[in-house]
A and B are shown apart, each in its own frame.
Chain A
Amino acid sequence: MISVGFRYALRERTRFALTASGLACAVVLTVFLAGVYRGAVHGSLSYIEHADADVWVGRSGSWNLMRASALLSGAAREQVLAIEGVQSAEPILSALLPAEVNGERRTLLVIGIDESAAAGRPRLVEQGTGLPGPGEIVIDRAFARRVGLALEEDLELAGRRLRVTGLSRETNLLVTQYAFVRRGELLEMLGLVDQATFLLVRTDPEPATEIAGRIERAIPQVAAYDRATFLANNREEIEAGFLPVLWAIAMFGLAVGGSVVALMTYAAVLEKRGDFATLAAIGAGTGVRFLVVMQQALLAALAGALAGLALLVALQRLLPTVVPEIEFRLELWIAAAALAGSLAMAALGALFPARLATRLPPLEALRR
Chain B
Amino acid sequence: MKMTSALRFEAVHKVYQGAVPVHALSGVSLNVESGAFAVIEGPSGSGKTTLLALAGGLERPTAGRVQAVGVELTALGERRLAAFRRAEVGFVFQDFKLIDVLTALENVAIALQIRGQRRSVARAKSLELLARLGLAGRTSARPATLSGGEKQRVAIARALVTEPALVLADEPTANLDWATGEQVVELLRVVAGERGATVVVVSHDPRLARYADQVMQLVDGRIVAAHAKEAVA
List residues of chain A with CB under 8 Å of any chain B CB: 1-2, 4, 7-8, 11, 274-275, 278-285, 288, 361-363, 365-366, 368
Contact = CB atoms under 8 A, between A and B. Distances in A.
A170 B110 CA distance: 57
Interface string B83-103: 001100111011101011110
A368 to B, nearest CB: 6
Contact of A368 (B89, B91, B95, B100): B95
Contacts of B90: 282
Contact of A363 (B59, B89, B159, B162): B59
Nearest to A285: B82
Contacts of A279: 99, 110, 114
Contacts of A11: 100-101
22 contacts: A1-B119, A2-B113, A7-B101, A7-B102, A274-B97, A275-B99, A278-B97, A279-B99, A279-B110, A280-B82, A281-B56, A282-B90, A283-B82, A285-B82, A285-B114, A363-B59, A365-B93, A366-B49, A366-B93, A366-B170, A368-B94, A368-B95
Contact of A362 (B58, B94, B115): B58
A279 B90 CA distance: 12
A285 B115 CA distance: 9
Contacts of B86: 283, 285
B114 A2 contact: yes
B97 A4 contact: no
B226 interface: no
A278 B99 contact: yes
A8 B101 contact: yes
B111 A363 contact: no
Interface string B202-216: 000000000000000
A362 B56 CA distance: 10
Given A4-B110, A282-B158, A365 B82 contact: no
- Interface SS of chain A: helix, strand, loop or mixed? helix
B102 A4 contact: yes
Contacts of B102: 4, 7
A355 to B, nearest CB: 15
A314 to B, nearest CB: 33
B53 A366 contact: yes
A360 to B, nearest CB: 12
B114 A363 contact: no
A16 B145 CA distance: 24
A289 B100 CA distance: 16
Interface of B: 49, 52-53, 56, 58-59, 82, 85-86, 89-91, 93-95, 97, 99-102, 110-111, 113-115, 119, 158-159, 162, 170
Nearest to B162: A283
B83 to A, nearest CB: 9
Contacts, number: 66
A279 B106 CA distance: 13
Contacts of B170: 366
Contacts of A368: 94-95
A283 B85 CA distance: 6
Contacts of B82: 280, 283, 285
A265 to B, nearest CB: 15
Nearest to A7: B101
Nearest to B89: A283
A283 B58 contact: no
A184 B39 CA distance: 106
Contacts of B52: 366
Given A8-B101, A275-B99, A362-B85, A283 B93 contact: no
Contact of B58 (A2, A4, A275, A363): A363
B55 to A, nearest CB: 11
Given A283-B89, A366-B93, 15 more contacts: A2-B114, A8-B101, A279-B110, A279-B114, A281-B58, A282-B110, A282-B158, A282-B159, A283-B82, A283-B85, A283-B114, A283-B162, A285-B114, A362-B58, A366-B53
The 10 closest A-B pairs by CB, nearest first: A283-B86, A7-B101, A278-B97, A284-B114, A363-B58, A288-B114, A11-B101, A281-B91, A2-B113, A362-B58
**Of residues B94, B113, B158, which shows the largest number of chain A Cβ atoms within 10 Å of its Cβ?**
B113
B95 to A, nearest CB: 6
Contacts of A275: 97, 99
Contacts of B85: 281, 283, 362
A285 B85 CA distance: 10
Nearest to B95: A368
Contacts of B115: 283
Contacts of A7: 101-102
Contacts of B89: 283
A125 B86 CA distance: 72
A283 B88 CA distance: 10
